[in-house]
């Protein structure tokens, strides 16, 4: 699924890039925003093998909006597999 499709489904997300590590945390920098902001995220909450340069989406949502997003993502993936 392309980034533009993800943004349509999940408008409350930020693309981040791993820019370093600080102990038990990975330093993430927001990509494509006018901000030069970084945040720390626990390494244990990321997939194994994460390295500098990897990208991740950080999403915010409540139970209802996340359930809707998951359903829409599943629908889009099924459409891609069928076509």
Dump pLDDT digits (tens) for 6-62: 555 567 778 889 999 999 999 999 887 776 788 899 999 998 999 999 998 887 777
What pLDDT is attached to residue 80?
Answer: 85
**pTM for this predicted structure:** 0.64
Domains, the chain: 3-82 (2.40.50)
List the structure tokens of 59.
């999403």
| 2 compared with 60, residue with greater pLDDT | 60
What pLDDT is attached to residue 52?
Answer: 95
Neighbours of 26 (CB within 10 A): 24
């Amino acid at each position: 699924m392309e980034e533009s499709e993800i943004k349509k489904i999940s408008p409350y997300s930020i693309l981040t890039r791993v820019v370093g590590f600080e102990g038990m945390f990975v330093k993430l920098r927001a990509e494509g925003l006018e901000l030069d902001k970084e945040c720390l995220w626990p390494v244990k909450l990321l997939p194994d093998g994460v390295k500098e340069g990897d990208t991740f989406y950080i999403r915010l949502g409540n139970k209802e909006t996340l359930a809707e997003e998951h359903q829409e993502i599943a629908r889009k993936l099924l459409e891609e597999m069928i076509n």
